Amino acid sequence: MRVLAKCHPNITYIEPVQGEEDEDASQKNSRAEIKIEQVRRIIIENQKANYENGRAIFIITHIHQITKGAANALLKSIEESGDNKSFLCLAPSRSSVLPTIASRLISVQVKPAPLNVVPDTKAAQLIASITKVRPSERFKLCEQLSSSRAELYNEIENLREQCHTELRSFYAQSHQNLHPLIALHISQALDQACDLLERNCNPRLVVEQLLLRDWPYA
């Protein structure tokens, strides 16, 4: 239970954080990164004795989004980790990770179990209809998404869940409609849209940025 709640004292979780905001919130760096300040926390914890008996684990999600400075700082900790400490780094593929980091890790491919869910046909159709239209021709499609902040957020959440289903279906080797890289890029664009809504950006402008700029064409 403590592991699921992320409160186990022997487990340190590191995940990407967003960049600094500009005066215009819509210009915030959309790429979240693992920064050197986070790695310094790992270095400190790696030098300490474990809080409880058993192995200490450093879980780093999206290791492919680590900055070069943070990666350089992390190398020594990985190389000199004690017998009772381990690093678990997550990434979509080994090739997406910096070679200096990847060469110090053992690669294990984990395939998710098939999803026993009823597909959201409406969301799947909307994703397909947007993706196959060039960004410059998507103005009418913008009208299919709500101008209400709360309703738009729920619609985007449904689309995100459908992208997740597509990705899980691909890696579980079952039927899927989207190429996994396209689904991943769409999911990232939807994440950015949710972030903008949470920072009170205009819903209509969020939709236009999502469909006319960030959503991939395939």
Q: Which two tokens stand for residue 139?
A: 């103005």
What are the start-end ranges of the E strands in the chain? 11-14, 56-60, 85-89
Place of tokens 């790696």: 46
90 within 8 A of 58, measured Cβ to Cβ:
no
The tens digit of pLDDT for each residue in 149-167 reads 999 999 999 999 888 888 7
The tens digit of pLDDT for each residue in 49-108 reads 888 888 999 999 999 999 999 999 999 889 888 779 999 999 988 999 999 999 999 999
Residue 184: predicted pLDDT = 86
Is the confidence at residue 170, as pLDDT, over 80? no
- 96 Cβ partners below 8 Å, 6+ apart? 64
Helix (H, G, I), strand (E, B) or coil at 144: coil
146 within 8 A of 203, measured Cβ to Cβ:
yes
Q: Which two tokens stand for residue 96?
A: 């997406």
Highest mean pLDDT among 5-14, 144-153, 177-186: 144-153
Number of H helices, E strands in the chain: 8, 3
Q: How far is CA 73 from CA 32, 60, 79, 156, 210, in A?
A: 18, 14, 11, 37, 35
Residue 38 dihedral angles phi and psi, to the nearest 5°: -70, -40
Residue 18: predicted pLDDT = 78
Residue 109: predicted pLDDT = 85
Measured over the CA atoms of residue 42, residue 43, residue 46 and residue 52, the dihedral's sign is negative
Superfamily of domain 11-102: P-loop containing nucleotide triphosphate hydrolases (3.40.50.300)
Q: Which two tokens stand for residue 65?
A: 């989004």
Q: Per-residue confidence at 21, pLDDT binned at 50, 70, 90?
A: very low
Is the confidence at residue 3, as pLDDT, over 60? yes
CA atoms of 79 and 218, how far apart (whole Å): 42
CA atoms of 131 and 111, how far apart (whole Å): 26
Residue 105: predicted pLDDT = 92
